[in-house]
A and B are shown apart, each in its own frame.
Chain A
Amino acid sequence: MIDMHLPILLIVVPLVSAPLCVLLRQKTLVWAFASLVCVASLGLASMLLIRVLEEGVISYAIGGWIAPWGIEYRVDTINAYVLLLVSIIAAVLMFFALPSVVDEVSGKQHYLFYTAYLLCLTGLMGIAITGDAFNVFVFLEISSLSSYTLIAMGRDRRALTASYQYLIMGTLGATFIVIGIGLMYMMTGTLNMFDLSQRLPPMFETRTAMVAFAFLTVGMLIKLAMFPLHMWLPNAYCYAPSLVTAFLAATATKVSIYVFLRFTFTVWGAEFVFEKLNLDIFLIPLSLIGIYVTSLSAIYQTNIKRLLAYSSVAQIGYMMLGIGFVSVTGLTGGIVHLFNHALMKAALFLAAGCVVLRLGSSNLADWKGLGRRMPVTMAAFVLAGLSLIGVPLTVGFISKWYLILAALEAGWWPIALLALLSSLLAVVYVWRVVEVAYFQKADDDSKIKEAPLMMQISMWGLTGATLYFGIQTDLTVNVAQRAAGLLIGVTP
């Protein structure tokens, strides 16, 4: 019974639980309830991935209305992988949530916080699971609206402007997407993705198709924070509560990238996008420029959370670069990096969150001497930072390996070299933090305690995962390879 309805349960459970949070006003109680829901989602998502790997594509008709008339949830390797990623992050972060939210969110808003958190989770999972283009938009709005709320709950009053900025840009992106989807519907009379992929090819020559594609793509690129459409991201990540930053950094942009993959490869098809419209000619240089520009910006930041945010934009560049190669290896690199980067960036933001809890500041200048004052937290920060650089035995290395290999396979060795050299910029911005924390003496050398155990569990869980998946790549690489094969249309 559960097996049959896995896809819908994955959405319904958090969706129904979200309003229930409002009823539980006690801080710990509402946290416990939300945690339970996240763990349940993780269980459901894992079961779903296992089923997909065993049986292949699962199609679920909502309410028994068969597609293309009804809404279809369609799960294959790639979105099962994304669903697992989102639910893992959501569940692991819940340990961190209890002390961190108490510290950073006003006491009266706790139940609202967890409501928004679960709604955001629902939205992200919904985007990933649905096989219906309009449904993507609906869930996108659910996740976006709840994340505007979450960001606005930050302690700093600038969180409000950051949230507003994100609201404007996010709405712009969503509007573009809905215009694109509307045009597609106008041309074909269907909203089901699979059906669209069948009906679109005859329209490829029309200007409407081009316009629809353009709107849709720009909208998606805004949502996934592709350079130069990333301006909303640094402020949003910087002023949001630490937990929210870690959650959004690890999931929101990743799910948007999934949407991009789904529309470009499944709905429009690689042939149209890359051979007819040559999107890669624009994607690859833009990714590389983005990597360099935003990495350089990261180097000059004085706030750690903002530094990490710029680094996120740069890392998105790597993922888009991998996608731009339009080969199985390149896509594998991009998809693996999507997973790997989620782990390491969440770990880094959590480490920053631990420091914020104790110091109340994420300004680099206040991090002097932290290597001595909070050795455990800083150790996690350094390890996850090494992963960001792409040192062997960490996940970052695995991603880098596939991206470079893809560039060389395509015969583009200058791109391989440029991508490698860009990772040296990551050395610089990670090392800037290391030097401040370990080489400079703190102005106020009073003793501070390490972060509470609950937060350490989340942080070290993710840091450990960046090391584990750097050595054991069975899950990450194999699944990514299968997903890449599916998208390109070759079965490995």
Chain B
Amino acid sequence: MSGSTAILVSIALPLLGMPFIALASRSPNVREAIGLIAAVLTFGTVLSLLPSVMDGAQPAAHVTDVMSGLSLAFKVEPLGMIFALIASGLWIVTTVYAIGYMRGHHEENQTRFFVFFAFAISAALGVAFARNMFTLFIFYEVLTLSTYPLVTHHRSKEAMRAGRIYMGILMSTSVGFLLLGMVWTWQLTGTLEFAPGGILTGKASEGIVIVLLGLYTFGTGKAALMPFHRWLPAAMVAPTPVSALLHAVAVVKAGVFTIMKVVIYLFGTELLSGAGLSEWLTYIAGFTILVGSLVAMTKDNLKARLAYSTISQLSYIVLGASLANDLGVLGGSMHIVTHAFGKITLFFCAGAILVALHKTEISDMKGIGRQMPFTMFAFLIGSLSIIGIPPFAGAWSKWYLVLAAIEAHRYVAAGVLLMSSLLNVLYLLPIPIYAFFATATNDHHADGLHEAPLACVLPLLFTAAGCLVLYIYPDPVLHLLLMIGGAMP
């Protein structure tokens, strides 16, 4: 399969799976088999692009010109390759997990769930492969709309209210700021193509560059930069697999991925770093990191705590982008990968606890390590990776980010990163520690193994193992990331 076909096929496969999933709604086994096959095929197709991208090629596909000069087109560059691999690869894992979770938790309307899930993955891949900002924006909006039915899955009053916040923030930021920034860029430069070194150099005054950067970063509501972060905790009413894959990986990473792409390929890091035009963003990101962590500490609901932790962690990546040097880009992009594995593990665990023990509040989780040793062990690994302790993957990205901050002489940023690690320890580690060492307060059947279904436990062990493997063997990822911006390693 040629590169351009592979791109189109990988985006089309989840869409093609949708009607079949819908048709098989009467037989859950067939339906889920179809979902799994679609996921595996999609991942396989994305994977088939990897060798050529590793060799420095950039496969491309052109669909159509929507308006003159504005085309719906795709091109695979290293950063997009990584994002696509993560989204499609973890889709397989999440599908397996979702089967266990949705059945174990007796969710209703499972068919609709699997259909829109596939839709969202297709949109995420479109974002990953977008050749220009125009295409990226299209899929960005499709991603918002396709996840709305998932967020509001329960159709309750609460889900409806959460859906309003979700749509309200994501739509108003993208329409009010991102679209404005995009049309403005188009008006200034006559192109929206992602090009190494950026397209804005020499086309816009420093003031306009700062305003545009603001429009892009705040316009990308999915990156959950404060004060536009409220949608993410609201989205937690969704079933856990949605929170795990979409609101820890695909959707939020699409947001920070967009910011990375914009910084690298529209502005160009040189333009931003030269006059310190992105320095203000470093402080906004730093603020979000700290405040996100602090709010996380106050949350007793596990998913809510994880949501605020995600808000904080996403800003690591924004911070990396705002430093606008090679190390910052490397560290930020690396964090897209490492945080994905760590956070999805934590969400899987949260869901497993809900399915097995019906617990959502952290204060009720004392002593559950004896009933769910595998789950809580995975939780520990995920936490350690998020904190950034070797030998887990998170250590790499944090290392590069701190180096980048020092190189850019923004010592405050380095301080923020270290401080945040400390806060991570405080809000994450007590959970597994209490689970293993505290005694349950008033649980009468607190002994004996009581894990979630196997389909839930295996995926979370897998992603936890991923945290370890990525620490020991980060070379392929590093190899790809060093090629970002067109440079050969």
Contacts of A417 in B (CB 8 A): 176, 180
Task: Say whether A386 faces chain B, with CB atoms less than 8 Å apart.
Answer: yes
- In the assembled complex, which residues on chain B have CB atoms less than 8 Å from the CB atom of A427? 167-168, 171-172
Contact check, B183 vs A401: say whether CB atoms are below 8 A apart: yes
Nearest residue, chain A, Cβ from B172: A424
B468 to chain A, nearest CB (A): 40
Assess the B183–A424 pair: CB atoms within 8 A. no
B140 to A, closest residue via Cβ: A392
List CB contacts (< 8 Å) of B125-184 with chain A: 137-138, 141-142, 145, 152, 155, 159-160, 163-164, 167-168, 171-172, 175-176, 179-180, 183-184
Alpha-carbon gap, A435 to B162, bound state (A): 12
**How distant is the Cα of A409 from the Cα of B176 in the complex, in angstroms?**
18
Contact of A458 with B by CB under 8 A: no
A421 touches B176 (CB 8 A): yes
B184→A413 contact, CB < 8 A: yes
Within 8 Å by CB of B187, from A390, A392, A405, lies A405
CA distance A473 to B67 in the complex (A): 6
The docked-state distance in angstroms from the alpha carbon of A438 to that of B40 is 32
The 0/1 profile, CB within 8 Å of B marked 1, for residues 422-464 of chain A is: 0110010001000100110000000000000000000000000
A261 CB, min distance to chain B CBs, angstroms? 22
| B186 close to chain A: CB less than 8 A | yes
Please provide the chain A residues from 195 to 221 with a CB less than 8 Å away from any CB of chain B in the complex.
none
In the complex, the answer to whether A424 meets B160 with C-beta atoms within 8 Å is no
In the assembled complex, A416 has its CB within 8 A of some CB on chain B: yes
- Complex: A123 Cα to B175 Cα, angstroms: 39
Please determine whether B184 and A408 come into contact, CB atoms closer than 8 angstroms: yes
Indicate if B64 sits at the interface (CB-CB under 8 A): yes
Q: Is there an interface contact between B180 and A416, defined as CB atoms closer than 8 Å? A: yes
Distance in Å: Cβ of B116 to nearest Cβ of chain A: 13
- Taking residues whose C-beta sits less than 8 angstroms from the other chain, chain B's interface range is 20 to 34
Question: Which residue on chain B has the smallest CB distance to residue A472?
Answer: B64
Q: Which residues of B contact A398 (CB under 8 A)?
A: 66-67
Report B451-465 CB contacts with A as 1/0, cut-off 8 Å: 000000000000000
Contacts of A390 in B (CB 8 A): 175
Known: A390-B175, A391-B141. Is A409-B187 also a contact (CB below 8 A)?
yes
Instruction: Let me know if A172 is at the binding interface, CB within 8 A.
Output: no
Instruction: Check: B323 CB closer than 8 A to any chain A CB.
Output: no
B72 at the interface (CB under 8 A from A): yes
Tell me, in angstroms, the Cα distance from A401 to B192 when the chains sit together.
Answer: 14
Using Cβ atoms and an 8 Å threshold, which residues of chain A touch B175?
Answer: 390, 420-421, 423-424
Given contacts A391-B145, A424-B171, contact A471 B183 (CB under 8 A): no
A-B pair number, CB within 8 angstroms: 67
**In whole Å, how far is A373's beta carbon from the nearest beta carbon of chain B?**
15
Contact with A along B333-367 (1 / 0, CB 8 A): 00000000000000000000000000000000000
B167–chain A nearest beta-carbon distance, Å:
7
In Å, the complex CA distance between A413 and B207 comes to 14
- For chain B residues 54-109, which have a beta carbon within 8 Å of chain A? 64, 66-68, 72
A365 at the interface (CB under 8 A from B): no
Tell which of B168, B172, B179 touches A404, judged by Cβ atoms closer than 8 Å.
Answer: B179
Q: Return the chain B residue nearest A386 by Cβ.
A: B145
Q: In the complex, which residues of chain A have a beta carbon less than 8 angstroms from the beta carbon of B137?
A: 392
When each residue 386-410 of chain A gets 1 if its CB lies under 8 Å from chain B and 0 otherwise, what string results? 1001111100001011001100110
For B152, the chain A residues whose CB sits under 8 A away are: 439
**What are the interface flags for A174-191 relative to B under an 8 Å C-beta threshold, 1 for contact and 0 otherwise?**
000000000000000000
Whether A477 sits at the interface, judged by CB under 8 Å, is yes
List of B residues within 8 angstroms of A389 by Cβ = 171
- Does the CB pair A404–B180 fall under 8 Å? yes
B126 to chain A, nearest CB (A): 11
Residues of B436-478 at the interface with A, using a CB-CB cut-off of 8 Å, are none
Most B-side CB within 10 Å, residue of A390, A408, A435: A408
Q: What CA separation (Å) do A400 and B67 show in the bound complex?
A: 13
Please give, as numbers and ranges, the residues of chain A lying within 8 Å of B160 by CB-CB distance.
Answer: 435, 439
> Nearest A residue to B155 by beta-carbon distance?
A439
Closest to A439 in B: B160
Task: Say yes or no: A420 contacts B171, CB within 8 Å.
Answer: no
Q: How far is the CA of A313 from the CA of B129 in the complex (A)?
A: 39
Which one of A472, A473, A477 has the greatest number of beta carbons of chain B within 10 Å? Answer: A473
Contacts of B155 in A (CB 8 A): 438-439
Q: Do B64 and A424 touch across chains, with their CB atoms under 8 A apart?
A: no
For residue A459, give the distance in angstroms from its CB to the closest CB of chain B.
Answer: 20
- A386–B175 Cα distance when bound, in Å, is 13
Asked whether B187 lies within 8 Å of A431 as measured between CB atoms, the reply is: no
Q: How far is the CB of A118 from chain B (nearest CB, A)?
A: 37
A409 contacts which chain B residues (CB < 8 A)?
Answer: 187
In chain A, what residue has the closest Cβ to B135?
A: A392
- Least CB distance, A383 to chain B, in whole angstroms: 10
Q: Please state if B176 and A404 are interface contacts (CB–CB under 8 Å).
A: no
Shortest CB distance A485–B (Å): 14
Contacts of B64 in A (CB 8 A): 471-472
B183 touches A408 (CB 8 A): yes
Against A, the Cβ 8 Å flags (1 = close, 0 = not) of B271-294 are 000000000000000000000000
Contact A471 B184 (CB under 8 A): no
CB contacts (< 8 Å) of B187 on chain A: these are 405, 408-409
Chain B 181-218: CB-based contact to A (< 8 A → 1; otherwise 0): 00110110000000000000000000000000000000
CA distance A76 to B180 in the complex (A): 34
A393-B167 contact, Cβ under 8 Å, with A401-B67, A409-B187, A421-B176: no
Question: Of residues B138, B179, B186, which shows the largest number of chain A Cβ atoms within 10 Å of its Cβ?
Answer: B179
Question: In whole angstroms, what is the CA distance A427 to B160 when docked?
Answer: 15
- From the candidates A391, A424, A438, name the one contacting B176 in the complex (CB within 8 A): A424
Q: Which residues of A contact B172 (CB under 8 A)?
A: 421, 424, 427
Could you tell me the distance in whole angstroms from the C-beta of A422 to the nearest C-beta in chain B?
10
Report how far A431 CA is from B152 CA in the complex, Å: 13
In the complex formed, the residue of A with least CB distance to B178 is: A420
Contact A420 B66 (CB under 8 A): no
Report chain A residues within 8 Å CB of B179: 400, 404, 420
Evaluate contact between B176 and A405: CB separation under 8 angstroms: no
Is there an interface contact between B66 and A471, defined as CB atoms closer than 8 Å? yes
Q: B residues within 8 A CB of A413?
A: 180, 184
**Chain B nearest Cβ from A484, distance in angstroms:** 14
Contacts of B141 in A (CB 8 A): 391-392
Complex Cα gap A420–B176 (Å): 6
B67–A477 touching, CB < 8 Å: yes
Which of chain A's residues has its CB closest to B187's CB?
A: A408
Cα A431 to Cα B145 with chains together (Å):
12
| Cα–Cα distance between A431 and B142 once the two chains are bound (Å) | 16
User: Smallest distance from the beta carbon of B478 to chain A beta carbons, Å?
Assistant: 34
- The reply to whether B138 and A393 form a contact with Cβ atoms under 8 Å apart is yes
Determine the distance from Cα of A471 to Cα of B134 in the docked complex, in whole angstroms.
Answer: 12
Point out the residues of chain A lying under 8 angstroms from B180, CB to CB.
404, 413, 416-417, 420
Shortest Cβ distance from A470 into B: residue:
B66
Say how far B176's CB is from chain A's closest CB, in angstroms.
5
**B186 near A405: Cβ-Cβ < 8 Å:** yes
Residues on B with beta carbons closer than 8 Å to the beta carbon of A404: 179-180, 183
Asked if residues A471 and B176 are in contact (CB atoms below 8 Å), the reply is no
Q: In the complex, A338→B462 CA distance in Å? A: 55
The docked-state distance in angstroms from the alpha carbon of A88 to that of B41 is 42
CB of A321 to closest CB in B, whole Å: 15
Q: What chain A residues lie within 8 Å of B142 (beta carbons)?
A: 392-393
**Residues in chain B near residue A470, CB distance under 8 A:** 66
**Which residues from B are CB-within-8-Å of A471?**
64, 66, 72
Bound-complex Cα distance A416 to B187 (A): 13
Residue contacts A-B, CB under 8 angstroms, 27 given? A386-B145, A389-B171, A392-B142, A398-B67, A401-B67, A404-B183, A405-B183, A405-B187, A408-B184, A409-B187, A417-B180, A420-B176, A420-B180, A424-B171, A424-B172, A424-B175, A424-B176, A427-B168, A427-B171, A431-B167, A439-B152, A439-B159, A470-B66, A471-B66, A472-B64, A473-B66, A477-B67
Known pairs A400-B179, A413-B184, A471-B66. 5 more at Cβ < 8 A? A416-B183, A421-B176, A427-B168, A427-B171, A473-B66
Q: State the 5 A-B residue pairs at the shortest beta-carbon distance, nearest first.
A: A392-B138, A404-B183, A408-B187, A439-B160, A392-B141
